[in-house]
Structure 1
Amino acid sequence: MDIEFPGVVPVYHGVDLRLAFPAMVDGRHVECRISAEALKDHFGAKSIRETDLHDAFRAHRAEIESAARWMLLGTTSSCIVLRSGTLRFLKCH
C-alpha cells in the first residue's frame, strides 16, 4: 500500500474541533482528521484554539502522520479520525 501525505497546512474545523489533512492512498484521496482533544492530550496543544492546534500539529506532524498511516493500513475508508483514545492505544503497542 502506497501512502503519502502532501505537506499542506491542515484545515481547521471549529464546529467539531478538529484539523483535517489529506493523504493519498494508492492514488486515491483520503481525508485524515485529528481531534482537538487528541492534539491536547498527546501533542501538547495549549488549548483548543485554532492557533494552538496548528502549532501542536506542526511540531508533531511526523508522529501524527505515522499514526494516520497505521490507521490507513487497516481500512479502505475515505476518511479516518485520530482521537485521543486511538492514540493512547497506539502508544501501548
Structure 2
Amino acid sequence: MQINFPYETPAYSGPELTLAFPALVDGERVECMITAEALEDHFGAASTRLEDMVGAFDTHRERIEAATRRLLSETRAQCLVLRSGYVRFYNANWRN
C-alpha cells in the first residue's frame, strides 16, 4: 500500500472540532481527520481555536502523518479519524 500526504493546509471544522487533511492511498484521495483532543493531548495545541490547532498540526505534521500512515495501513484506508487514544497507543508502541 503506497501512502503519501499532499502538502495542503488542513481544513478546520468548528462543529466537529477536527482538522481534515488528505492522504493519497495507491493514488486515491482519502480524507483523514485529527481531533482537537488529540492535538491538545499530544501535539501541544493550546486550545480548539483554528490558529492553535493548525499551528500544532504544522509543527508536528511528520509525527501526525506517521500515525495516520499506520492507521491507514491497519484499516485498509477506510474512514479515518485520528483520536487521542490511538495517538497514545501509537506513541507507546511505535515511537522511534
The question of a shared fold, defined as TM-score above 0.5 by the shorter chain, is answered with yes
Aligned to 2:85: 85
Q: TM-score, normalised by structure 2?
A: 0.93
Q: CA RMSD of the aligned region, Å?
A: 0.9
Unaligned residue ranges in structure 2 (runs of 5+): none
Q: TM-score, normalised by structure 1?
A: 0.96
Aligned residue for 1:15, secondary structure, equals coil
Q: Describe the superposition over 1:10-67 as per-residue Cα deviations: whole angstroms up to 9, x where unpaired.
A: 0001111000000000011111100000000000001110110000000000000000
Aligned to 1:18: 18
Cα distance in 2 for partners of 1:51, 1:79 equals 25
Number of aligned positions between the proteins: 93
Alignment of 1:50-69 (within 5 A): 50-69=50-69
Aligned residue for 2:75, secondary structure, equals coil
- Post-superposition, which runs of at least 4 consecutive aligned residues in structure 1 deviate over 2 A? 76-79
Cα distance in 2 for partners of 1:56, 1:77 equals 24
* Partner amino acid, structure 2, of 1:59: T
Q: CA deviation at 1:75?
A: 1.7
**Kept in 2: contact 1:31–1:78 (CA 8 A):** no
Unaligned residue ranges in structure 1 (runs of 5+): none
Cα distance in 2 for partners of 1:20, 1:26 equals 19
